[in-house]
């Protein structure tokens, strides 16, 4: 299986400023990586993605993913990025003590904020992996319970921007 590498170049023009991927904290970066990893149609670029045939295959459940494989960070709609930033910030603030315990867990020395951001996306959307699956014990269970409150579904808009519903 090939390694997933998010296209993280470019900027998203937000109301107050233009942001690059590197302007975001590691938790939010991990969250965005997981969003694209779990949502892209392998080897289906935008041109093919927009065809009637591919759209029909998606409706019938015969196509993997809901985003073309050639989209990335710069294709997030500004309101989508704004919502992601706010959601990740709120989760980190509300669960700061448990996240710190996860980052310093003796059995998971390489667990970091980017991994936690990915786990936030995976767990809240029921992808079968997440905080509960990392060997973090009760801390992982608490973080899992904290983020199972609202599934988000990415979609590719007619303006070729990525949105969440």
Instruction: List the chain domain ranges.
Output: 25-164
* Contact assessment for residue 21 and residue 85, using Cβ atoms and an 8 Å cutoff: no
Q: Answer yes or no: is pLDDT of 2 > 70.
A: no
Exposed/middle/buried for residue 135 (C-beta within 10 Å: 0-12, 13-18, 19+) = exposed
CA atoms within 13 A on the CB side of 94: 12
H or E segment and range at residue 55: helix 52-59
Mean pLDDT of 117-129: 92
* Contact assessment for residue 42 and residue 65, using Cβ atoms and an 8 Å cutoff: yes
Higher pLDDT, 91 or 62: 91
What is the percentage of the chain residues whose pLDDT exceeds 90?
Answer: 62
Angle, helix 138-147 to helix 78-94, in steps of 10 degrees? 140
The pLDDT score that the predictor gives to residue 163 is 96
Structure tokens at 60: 């019938």
Structure tokens at 7: 């296209």
H or E segment and range at residue 156: strand 154-156
Structure tokens at 77: 């709609």
Mean pLDDT of 137-144: 93
Query: What's the full length of the chain, in residues?
Result: 165
> Residue 150 — very low, low, confident or very high, per pLDDT cuts 50/70/90?
confident
Buried b or exposed e, range 106-123, using 16+ CB within 10 angstroms: eebeebebbbbbbbbbbb
pTM of structure: 0.92
* Contact assessment for residue 74 and residue 43, using Cβ atoms and an 8 Å cutoff: no
């Amino acid at each position: 299986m090939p390694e997933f590498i998010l296209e993280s170049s470019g900027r998203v023009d937000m109301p107050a400023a233009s942001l690059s991927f590197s302007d975001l904290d590691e938790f939010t970066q991990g969250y965005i990586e997981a969003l694209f990893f779990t949502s892209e149609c392998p080897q289906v670029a935008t041109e093919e993605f927009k065809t009637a045939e591919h759209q029909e295959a998606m409706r019938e459940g015969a196509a993997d993913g809901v985003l073309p494989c050639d989209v990335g960070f710069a294709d997030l709609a500004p309101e989508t990025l704004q919502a992601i930033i706010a959601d990740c910030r709120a989760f980190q603030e509300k669960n700061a003590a448990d996240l710190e315990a996860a980052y310093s867990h003796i059995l998971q020395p390489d667990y970091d904020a980017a991994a936690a951001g990915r786990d936030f996306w995976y767990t809240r959307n029921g992808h079968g992996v997440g905080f509960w699956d990392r060997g973090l014990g009760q801390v992982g269970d608490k973080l899992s319970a904290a983020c199972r409150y609202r599934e988000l579904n990415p979609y590719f808009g007619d303006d070729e921007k990525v949105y969440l519903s």
